[in-house]
Amino acid sequence: MSMETLQWTLLVGLLAMLVYVLWHRMRASFVDGVAPAVSADWEGEAVATKGDALVISVRVKRAGELTVWLEDPAGQQTVVSDGNVDEGVHTWEAVLPNPQGWTVHLKCEGHRSERRLG
């Protein structure tokens, strides 16, 4: 076997290893970069006023842990729901004297969102 044949064999082997490693790294990055499925999100108008009450609507697509809380303009938080919920549409009412500047937060597995009132 000549030296030239050995060099070509090593070059082809090196290129094959490079393609193999790059292919697997690229495939792994696509799999790891997939966002988790959203298990809950706002329903309809999400937050509506009904007299002095604030009505919060959330659609739960997959049963699991859900946290919904209110935050006033000063940063004080009031928890509306914290715990496991079943699938379906859930509504909560909260009486706020002045809803201007308040924020409603929603947090579940794979998703976090907020709605500002004002």
The domain that contains 74 carries what CATH number?
A: 2.60.40.730
Same domain, 64 and 6: no
pLDDT score, position 34: 64
Same domain, 23 and 70: no
CA 96 to chain centre: 28
The whole-model pTM stands at 0.66
| Domain carrying residue 11 | 1-34
What is the chain's pLDDT, residue by residue, as a tens digit (118 residues)? 688 898 999 999 999 999 999 888 887 777 666 666 778 889 888 888 887 788 899 999 888 899 999 998 888 898 988 888 899 999 999 888 777 888 999 998 878 899 988 7
Same domain, 60 and 97: yes
In sequence order, what E strands does 15-101 have?
Answer: 40-50, 53-60, 64-71, 77-85, 88-95
Domains held by the chain: number: 2
Same domain, 105 and 51: yes
- What CA–CA distances, in Å, run from 81 to 14, 69, 111? 58, 7, 16
Give the single-character DSSP code of 52: T
Same domain, 54 and 26: no
pLDDT score, position 46: 87
